[in-house]
Amino acid sequence: MAGDASIGARKMTRRRALRRAVAAGVGAAAAKWPSPTRPPWLPAAWSAGAPTALAAPLRRGGALKVAEIGEPLTLDPVVTTAELTANITAPVFEPLVAFDETWRLQPMLAASYAISADSLTYTFVLRKNVPFHNGKTMGADDVVASLGRWAKASPLGPSVVQHVDSVMAAGNDTVVVKLKAPFAPLLAFLAMGTGGAAIMPREIADAAAMTPVKQYVGTGPYRFVEWKPDQYVRLSRFDQYASRAEPASRFAGRKDAPADDIYYYPVSQVATRVAGVQSGTYDVADGINQDAYADLVKDPRAEAGVVRPGAFLLFFFNKRQGIMANVKVRQAVAAAFDMQPILAATFGNPNLYAVDPSIYPKGTPWYTTTGAQAYNVHDIGRAKQLAKEAGYTGQPIRWLTTQQYDWAFKSTVVAAVQLQRAGFTVDTQVMDWATLLDRRTKPADWDMFVTSHNFAAEPAQITVFSSVYPGWWDTPSKNDLFARFTSETNPASRAQLWAKLQGLFFDEVPAVRPGAFFNVILSRKGLQGFNPSHWTTLWSVQPVG
């Protein structure tokens, strides 16, 4: 967490230690993170425990074949919060800091970092001799340019940049970020995988500015090779990769690259993705329907993994223009929903979803029931009354959805029927995910869209609170409360402010959150090193055979 004492300065092992460790054959055991003690708010079931060293070096060779839900809109991880882009580019781009198994922040491209006593100055000492995929060595100017572009081009950037006074290089190996006022979640934002602060060469960042980059050059264990639209994206091992020496731990620590290549195939049908893993055509398949989980766990050909902590379903409203810009219409829509049948029809397996008003689950410091009285109301009479007061007269609600995510289409169908019963006219528009991502940026083209949000260790990272994220929740009350929350560094005070933010979420209804769910990822039996995770990690996975 951003307010945890663990985010102080850390002295990290240099690259020389890694070379010695590899030469000695002890690999990841050569270095250790700070104590991996699980934070008290993190349930044991959410943690994989202390990272362990590999028993033997992974065998190199072969290719990993991944069935993704469709074609990405872009391969620039900065300009979009789409998980599909983050999954494909995670082996290519790296941030300054990264989350470990217990969701603590650890240095990645930074060798160490320190925060001043007044929480206004962050000093990042960079690792030395880290090469980009184009052969250039990473320096402070590259980091400054990358952070500057991220602040402007990322949907998450505006939540941060308003607090930043300056980002400057102090020599070639140090970057100093000065804030106007304390911003507690800064490091968590820098570690985010979607819409994240990917570090790239200065010349590429400067040339792209706010448009998507066309040269996908990072520092990761795999380099971009080619993108054949509607066929595949191919990454290949970067033999000059400068790995950290610490044990692998979620997105932090050591990264190996046993596979020669990684191929990501757009496979829109869930059944095709499942059959592909069962037949050995694919090694990993994302976006598996939860109601198939009970059968898949018995399948001798595959492993059905559950991603924990869970994600949550979201129905976003267009608050910039159109009928949903009226808060009473949004409140009317929210009052019409019955969450249990929506979640049951969408996810099937009751062990893989939860009907709960809290955005965060029990066991975290962010759990709160504030606003619960407006959750799962299912009052058609109240919905009709609010709609009447708002002046709603049957205008069609244009709802963007997709069949490429099984949960997206199912939830839309059930929820749309509930709205129709409450007197609303729903125009369900089904499209591929890439088209949905593009359409949702155009406020004249939609009224609602369906999406989900992965677990966020820091609440300020949840996209609905960004004023520039599609949906555009940009009210004075939200902006003021959000600014107070992010500038507060005391954990207890932050928890109180978070409860008020959740209450405001239910009052102003920027989106509807039906409930939480756990994603299912399918992999081939015998695939070594694969662990289901948000922002799929494939850099330490050894192909079968």
Give me the domains of the chain, ranges plus CATH numbers: 311-517 (3.10.105.10)
| Contact between 325 and 529 (Cβ < 8 Å) | no
What gap in Å lies between CA 98 and CA 120, rounded to an integer? 21
> 476-486: per-residue pLDDT in tens?
999 999 999 99
* Distance, C-alpha 210 to centroid of its chain: 20
| Contact between 184 and 3 (Cβ < 8 Å) | yes
- Which SS3 state, helix, strand or coil, does residue 511 take? strand
- Find the helix packing angle between 327-336 and 380-389, rounded to 10°: 170
What pLDDT is stored for residue 6 in this prediction?
Answer: 28
* Distance, C-alpha 6 to centroid of its chain: 22
| Contact between 128 and 451 (Cβ < 8 Å) | no
Q: Is the pLDDT of residue 222 over 80?
A: yes
pLDDT band at 56 (very low <50, low <70, confident <90, very high): low
Give the residue-averaged pLDDT of 319-333: 98
Q: What percent of the chain has pLDDT over 90?
A: 78
| Contact between 165 and 224 (Cβ < 8 Å) | no
Helix, strand and coil content of the chain, in percent to the nearest 5, comes to 30, 20, 50
CA atoms within 13 A on the CB side of 302: 27
User: Distances from the Cα of 55 to the Cαs of 27, 433, 463, 529, in angstroms?
Assistant: 9, 40, 40, 12
Q: What percent of the chain has pLDDT over 70?
A: 90
What gap in Å lies between CA 317 and CA 331, rounded to an integer? 11
- Find the helix packing angle between 491-508 and 476-487, rounded to 10°: 160
What gap in Å lies between CA 386 and CA 337, rounded to an integer? 14
> 126-143: per-residue pLDDT in tens?
999 999 999 999 999 999
> 234-259: per-residue pLDDT in tens?
999 999 999 999 999 889 999 999 99
- Find the helix packing angle between 406-421 and 339-347, rounded to 10°: 150
* Residues 6+ away with beta carbon under 8 Å from 541: 64, 258, 259, 283, 527, 528, 529, 530
Cβ of 116: how many Cβ atoms within 10 Å?
A: 12
* Distance, C-alpha 218 to centroid of its chain: 19
> 147-193: per-residue pLDDT in tens?
999 999 998 888 888 899 999 999 999 999 999 999 999 999 999 88
Pull the structure tokens for residue 98.
């990264």
Cβ of 483: how many Cβ atoms within 10 Å?
A: 15
Pull the structure tokens for residue 51.
């990272």
| Contact between 325 and 471 (Cβ < 8 Å) | no
| Residue of 23 and 254 predicted with greater confidence | 254
Phi, psi of 228 (to 5 degrees): -100, 105
